[in-house]
Structure 1
């Protein structure tokens, strides 16, 4: 049964006072009611999500200030519908159709992994290295393996002038979505390809030529099913589970492709789970192809990525 947006009890003189013209609760009252419903459903960020949902209903990129005095009947109905979807733990990004990633707004869709804020730190490492190469007089060639909706690849393409970026994903839906996002953000020059990182011939034409290989691959072990309904029930298994008992089969393949693609001195950066830091460092070092193998933290201080430099062949 749909969870309706409740009618708050107005407090005289408060922001929940009824609209004196229409006799209906104000937009602020609806915002408070949505926040209460989301909190009751266990949504982790009810205040932020309520504001995004109301902005979406108002067809605004962010919530305006001051809020409108009232909502139209159609806006009230739409707010009830999107609130019901969020109460049922459908991802906020699927409901509004987009997700922020660094300075970009990317279209998202069911069947493709939703970009996460923690991956912005991985993108930053790739961007910084590509910029340094540009400053040294050579435009960077960057490959994003397992690109999903294209966040990392498009961040590099739009933040690093002159860079050449290639994005690859096994999912046809992800390839289509990345191409669409590339066109929308003015990065139509990004080459987006379908391909499997486990294919030893993937990007054979770029072997030994790439400056930066960056990846946010699937890495969840089969016995570590995510607790969050938004992830467990909505992100595709292809983008979540890395294969093997440790979840690192796909990351191992990414490491092997990076070793083949990178030029000497090229940078490798890959996201992983916090508990996998030691294992991922070990598998990178075991190739014998890298030096300066290190774990780096994300913005929350969690060990979430490995970096390394390609040795001379």
Structure 2
């Protein structure tokens, strides 16, 4: 287990945080954590109870705070996700509760959510469905940013459902329009049968990593495998979602599905081969890698 080098405290006097943050950043970098300096600052801000941008103006660590900071940095150096340590994940304009049992939402998924928000805003009272909702990141972002939308979030894993319901309740308490939570397997043949032909926007961030891919420790040790891996080729969930979405979407309704960066050709091809979609396009993430596909449900007479 990695540990920070100890430095003597000065009783109840406060120790300047900058040297401790610098040492923590070096430890995290040595442990292979990307963005080590930023994460060290976020942990310091968390311990001090201030926004990261105000660290320079904050009082230094008390002895107890320094001990806590050291312990949290040690956990992060052992590759426990930062979001599990702090208990929250930032996503667009939200802070979501996360922890063991639920997939930590990633920044790249904000692009799919943003596309969904744009599409939903085109309607007056759109019906939006989020499949494989996990923590509820996409569904809750749409509900917050498109108050006129009816949003349905579907999740099948019991532990993830607990986090989804907690986040949905928190956001409703904060004044956002409530999200309807449905416990269901998204690959089910009769999924959301009562909504067939009525959905305006359907979004999905499914498990899509091919089974043999080696993932970072934060993912392999802490994210639920069922939310990460999508079978041998990564398409085990995407295939039935593509088929079911065509039933759920109204003519002219739109679909957005995140996928592995190796799926930039194969997932659009699945949509083309299905025959019920038009305007199929793949989109890159901020690193230029293929990340999500969009399509429009073909009109009945199209």
- In 2, Cα distance between the equivalents of 1:70 and 1:158? 36
Give runs of aligned pairs for residues 283-302 of structure 1, distance below 5 A: 283-302=270-289
CA drift at 1:2: 5.2
Q: Deviations over 1:161-215 (max 9, x none)?
A: 2100000011112222112112222346200111111111110000000000000
Matched, 1:94 2:84: yes
Match for 1:147 among 133, 146, 160? Answer: 133
Match for 1:233 among 213, 221, 230? Answer: 221
Using structure 1 for the length normalisation, give the TM-score. Answer: 0.90
| Contact preservation (8 Å) 2:143, 2:177 | no
| Contact preservation (8 Å) 1:209, 1:262 | yes
Please name the residue that 1:304 is paired with: 291
Match for 1:252 among 227, 239, 245? Answer: 239
CA shift in 2, pair 1:85/1:65, >3 Å? closer
- In 1, Cα distance between the equivalents of 2:82 and 2:5? 17
CA drift at 1:62: 2.9
Please name the residue that 1:201 is paired with: 190
Please name the residue that 1:224 is paired with: 213
- In 1, Cα distance between the equivalents of 2:171 and 2:51? 16
SS in 1 for 2:212: coil
Please name the residue that 1:190 is paired with: 179
Matched, 1:7 2:7: yes
CA shift in 2, pair 1:150/1:246, >3 Å? same
| Contact preservation (8 Å) 2:117, 2:145 | yes
SS in 2 for 1:275: coil
CA drift at 1:251: 0.5
- In 1, Cα distance between the equivalents of 2:20 and 2:187? 50
Q: Deviations over 1:105-127 (max 9, x none)?
A: 11111110000000000001110
- In 2, Cα distance between the equivalents of 1:258 and 1:61? 41
Matched, 1:30 2:25: no
- In 2, Cα distance between the equivalents of 1:54 and 1:63? 11
RMSD between superposed Cα atoms in Å: 1.9
Q: Deviations over 1:244-294 (max 9, x none)?
A: x31101011111121110000000000001111111011111111101111
- In 2, Cα distance between the equivalents of 1:69 and 1:118? 34
- In 1, Cα distance between the equivalents of 2:96 and 2:179? 15
Q: Deviations over 1:196-240 (max 9, x none)?
A: 1111111000000000000000011111131x1111111111101
SS in 1 for 2:264: helix
Q: Which runs of 5+ in 2 are unaligned?
A: none
Matched, 1:211 2:200: yes
SS in 2 for 1:132: coil
Q: Which runs of 5+ in 1 are unaligned?
A: 9-17
Using structure 2 for the length normalisation, give the TM-score. Answer: 0.93
